[in-house]
Amino acid sequence: MDRKQQKVSVRNLVEFLLREGNIDSRRGTRLADREAMLAGGRIHRKIQGRMGSDYQAEVPLKKVISRGEYELVVEGRADGIIRGFGPVVIDEIKGVYRELDTYEEPERLHLAQAKCYACMYAEEQGLEQIGVQLTYVHLETEQIRRFRETYSLRELSLWMQELTEEYGKWTDFSWEWQKQRDASVRELEFPFPYREGQRELAVSVYRTINRKKRLFIQAPTGVGKTISVLFPAVKAMGEGLGEKLFYLTAKTVAAQAARDAFDVLTRQGLRIKRVYLTAKEKLCPMEVMDCNPQSCPRACGHYDRINEAVFTFLQEFDDGTREQLLFWAERFSVCPFEFALDVSSWTDAVVGDYNYAFSPTARLKRFFGEGVKGGYLFLIDEAHNLVERAREMFSAQLCKEDFLEMKKKAKPYSRRLVRELERCNKYLLVKKRSCEEYELQTDISEFLLDLLRLSGVIRQLLEEDAIPEIAEELRDFYFQIGQFLDVSERVDEHYVTYTWHGEDRRFYIRQFCIDPARNLRECLDKGNSAVFFSATLLPVNYYKELLSGETDDYGVYARSPFDAGKRSLLIGRDVSSRYTRRNEAEFARTAEYIRKIVNARQGNYLVFFPSYQYMQQVYEQFLMRKRASVSCLLQTGNMNEEKREAFLDRFREKSKDTLVGFCVMGGIFSEGIDLKEDQLIGAIVVGTGLPMVCREREILRNYYDEKNGSGFEFAYLYPGMNKVQQAAGRVIRTEKDRGVIALLDERFLTRSYLGTFPVEWQDYQVCTLDTVEGFVRRFWET
């Protein structure tokens, strides 16, 4: 029987154990990552190709170390091995923008990486000595500087033994913890009596993970989808079907649901280490987030303290909540965000935003970087949100006026920078003059080359700290350019590039990701299995096409466990929110509908509108009609957390009066809120939720018309009806709830809209302004 293994890459090993000193965003790892993304691979291949027949490129190496019950496997790929006259030489190539004459010796981590490869190869081949060569290449000039040194095998073996012994402390801890976790998982039982369909749902999740497939789940509120998905995933992980669980969410509220579910399972005896990742801005203890040792005392010497902080935290805590992370980071005087990321390397589960797995700029490279993969299990909550989020993640844009502004700032400091900025500005100026409203672009290769040159100049200036007066603005601009260049490498038939004149009178160029499935699959394929779940994942083939690109992925429709008789679904057939019908008479008619519905029974109601403007018009009409005992709340734009909670607290208060909240579909109150029993007894949805006709919606429509003849559905209908279903789902949250859902638009009765209804909505009733109050009263009297 094969012994179990704990694996680590050479790069991760040396970076983890040998890192030291400060966090410094002015010239930190983010810039190093950028250089590797932009030109590192290209320059590696170019140099390797020049080296002749004695040079063997990209050689995989592995060292297996027995640690008692398991094996520690150190593995990696040497850039090159030179065999000729004299000792064999390991070649490690590093592309840099730093001037090569400033290197007096190799960088410590680069040399350590090369020494690991040298040790592994010398042991494998039985060599008594071996050379180590660091090849530094300037990514712009392609100038080369080499450092070479020869080591004995004994010297390298002792050095690497110390390294792996130090790392063994961590893997020993991890191994012992996994045994405890797996033992607790074997004893774990589902924590509640199964509701109707819940057991089948859990079985589907386990089967999907066991088969290393993907599953899409449509599960209405009340099914208990969070625990139904999490429980079988934990069971599967305990049986060796996955090594790390990623619970990915769109909003903080969903992360809280995951935390609650984990807490339920731990009370049942589960031992599982999990960490809840929070945005850097929300964790930073400083008034101004400026990550360098001059501005932040925790950045100073962070890497000297971080490993001790992480190791002691893991020994004392299983639950890495925001509060605990902040407390521990303060105790060890380390950055709480970087601390949380390092903790995540050793936990069984990571809960966080979609960005941490999918975003090309924010994904956790320790798990999802180039060439990195693992036995990951992805649980993707509220997956309907991922379509638009992913489109934005994999799109990028630049503004012409930003080049002009940066040119003005750079003028006193660098002629070369000014020249490159002007080159980019001139390109965009030509495009601006030929563009009326917006214009599709078929070839921007000239602009991309200009951006590459500009990026190289900025990179060098930042490395040399040549213009500290504008370094912060320049760094931000550099990352914008880098993101645009990154996206350009992804552009294919699933993208459209276009220019347009913004409403702010600025001119933009955008690479727009229409279909993000291929990009998402790139991340998903790094793991074993993925489960997408939501209360509104209809039609499921639409989401399969956009989230995985494979319509043969598994799909499950979980039926609602609630009594349909406790919910009345009405469709108003004599009212519409069409643009051609938006007038005072229609606003008044809609307000009268709302008045009659809320007058039928005292209680709390939410009314959802397609826009703030439409909401305001109807709100004003309603105020002229409502009873004195009816109070109103109005959602405003950019409500902060405090105002949002104050709004919801009004619904949680006991009152004899009626409360009507006016909200916008797709906003902060249309999903992710949980008002139970008498806290909410009605949801009125005004309009079909269709997105506004705009530039990108029409681009989507044209693309899908050409691809599958469903342009209107993909661009407007399905996204709109998702918002309708989310809003309507605010009513009936538990088996004790009763409530009314009213859909106010005649279009809901057409075939295309009815075809998007969930099964639970097939018992709808059609009403008019004259009959709606009677329908509602009869419902409440039964």
Judged against a pLDDT cut of 80, whether residue 19 lies above it is answered with yes
Contact 664, 636 (CB under 8 A): no
φ and ψ at residue 592, rounded to 5 degrees: -70, -40
Single-letter amino acid, residue 769: L
C-alpha to C-alpha distance for 606 and 745, rounded to whole angstroms: 17
* For residue 46, pLDDT beyond 80: no
- pLDDT tens column, 542-598: 999 999 999 999 999 998 888 889 999 999 999 999 988 999 999 999 999 999 999
Average pLDDT over residues 182-197: 94
Task: Output phi, psi for 744, to 5 deg.
Answer: -100, 85
Determine the pLDDT at residue 44. Answer: 62
* Confidence band, pLDDT 50/70/90 cuts, at residue 29: very low
**In 3-state terms, what secondary structure has residue 460?**
helix
pLDDT at 45 over 80: no
Given a cut of 80, is residue 83 above it in pLDDT? yes
- The Cα–Cα gap between 205 and 236 comes to 9
pLDDT classification of 464: cutoffs 50, 70, 90: confident
Asked if pLDDT for residue 1 goes beyond 90, the answer is no
pLDDT > 90: percent of the chain: 81
Percent of the chain with pLDDT over 70: 97
Is 319 exposed, middle or buried (CB count within 10 Å of its CB: 0-12, 13-18, 19+)?
A: middle
Instruction: Give 124-142 pLDDT, tens digit per residue.
Output: 999 999 999 999 988 778 8
Looking at residue 32, what is its pLDDT? Answer: 42
Report whether pLDDT(170) > 70.
Answer: yes
Q: Is 227 exposed, middle or buried (0-12, 13-18, 19+ CB in 10 A)?
A: buried
Tracing tokens 């100049």 back to the chain, one arrives at 457
CA atoms within 13 A on the CB side of 713: 18
pLDDT in tens, 69-80: 999 999 999 999
Query: Where in 256-323 does DSSP place strands (E)?
Result: 274-276, 319-320
What is the C-alpha separation between 572 and 575, in angstroms, rounded? 6
Q: How far apart are alpha carbons 613 and 46 in whole angstroms?
A: 58
Residue 341 · residue 366 · CB < 8 Å: yes
Mean pLDDT of 705-715: 97
Cα–Cα distance between 91 and 133 in angstroms, integer?
A: 5
Backbone angles phi, psi at 677, to 5 degrees: 50, -125
Cα dist from 333 to 25, 65, 281, 330, 336, whole Å: 18, 34, 17, 5, 9
Q: Out of 2-11, 51-60, 558-567, 603-612, give the one with best mean pLDDT.
A: 603-612
CA distance 355 to 620: 40
Q: Answer yes or no: are the C-beta atoms of 264 and 270 closer than 8 Å.
A: no
Q: What is the pLDDT of residue 562?
A: 85
The tens digit of pLDDT for each residue in 717-771 reads 999 999 999 999 999 888 889 999 999 999 999 999 999 999 999 999 999 999 9
The secondary structure element, H or E, covering residue 730 is none
Two tokens, residue 193: 């009596």
Q: Answer whether residue 222 shows pLDDT above 90.
A: no
φ, ψ at 311 (rounded to 5°): -65, -45
Report residue 28's pLDDT band, with 50, 70 and 90 as the boundaries: very low
- In this predicted structure, the answer to whether residue 146 has a pLDDT above a threshold of 50 is yes
Helix, strand and coil in the chain, % to nearest 5:
50, 20, 30
DSSP annotation string for 227-273: HHHHHHHHHHHHTTS-SEEEEEESSHHHHHHHHHHHHHHHHTT----
Q: What pLDDT sits at residue 41?
A: 57
Higher pLDDT, 223 or 446: 446
pLDDT at 30 over 90: no
* pLDDT over 50 (residue 65): yes
Average pLDDT over residues 80-99: 87
Helical H runs in 624-746? 641-652, 695-708, 711-712, 718-728
* CA separation for the pair 488, 508 (Å, rounded): 15
Q: What is the pLDDT of residues 660-692, one digit of tens each?
A: 999 999 999 998 788 988 999 999 999 999 999
Over residues 321-367, the pLDDT tens digits come to 999 999 999 999 999 999 999 999 999 999 999 999 999 989 998 89
Structure tokens belonging to residue 521: 């699959």
- How far apart (Å, rounded) are the C-alpha atoms in residues 75 and 64? 9
